[in-house]
Amino acid sequence: MVVVLVWCAGAVCREVLGVVMARSSDPAGTGQWVLLSYRLPREPSTPRITVWRKLKRLGVAQLGDGLIALPADARTREQLDWIAEEIAEAGGTATVWLAQPATLAQERDLATAMAAARAEEYSKVADQATAANALPDTERERTVRRLRDELRRIHRRDYFPPSERDTARIAVENLAAPHTGAHAAKARR
């Protein structure tokens, strides 16, 4: 099964495991990425931690020391612009770049690593949802709200959705409606 999603100006084809990107406009066939290269003073450590938390929240790929990447779109470009601004205000230096991986294999490795990081996050949500099935109603409802929020956050930084995404969604929906959930989840497939 190949799902085609519109991404940037090109198209992203998602396979069940690997991620292959097709872009006819350039020889390598790779997509456009936005890179942030930055340096921040070691002290004070608060801005370093703030920046790192923000980057983590965006689900960036770490390419090297002080070099991170995201698939380029209007939102990711803008977010990295603002983080660059914040780094400059904290006494650091930052530049934002648009780049293409030189080979498809390189891009695939990057995307696979990002998908694996999200898969791990989704699996944690699914495990927590399953474990919460045994809880009393009120606690179960509270867990549903918390996990739905968590799913939304992961979703925002999920650029190459792994299959664990559906597993986690179904686990949380089953927790929300324990008697009808399994049925509904089956019907949606």
CB of 70 to other proteins, least distance (A): 14
Residues that bind other proteins (CB under 8 A): 50, 54, 57, 74, 78-79, 81-82, 84-86, 89, 152, 156
> Closest approach of Cβ 73 to other proteins, in Å?
11
3-state SS track over the chain: CCEEEEECCEEEEECCCCEEEECCCCCCCCCCEEEEEEECCCCCHHHHHHHHHHHHHCCCEEEECCEEEEECCHHHHHHHHHHHHHHHHCCCEEEEEEECCCCHHHHHHHHHHHHHHHHHHHHHHHHHHHHHCCCCHHHHHHHHHHHHHHHHHHHHCCCCCCCHHHHHHHHHHHHHCCCCHHHHHHHHC
- Closer of 24 and 46 to other proteins (Cβ): 46
Smaller CB distance to other proteins: residue 54 or 146? 54
Taking the complex as a whole, the smallest distance from the CB of residue 127 to other proteins amounts, in Å, to 23
Closer to other proteins by Cβ: residue 84 or 176? 84
**Residue 89 CB, nearest approach to other proteins (Å):** 6
Q: Which is nearer to other proteins, 89 or 137 (CB)?
A: 89
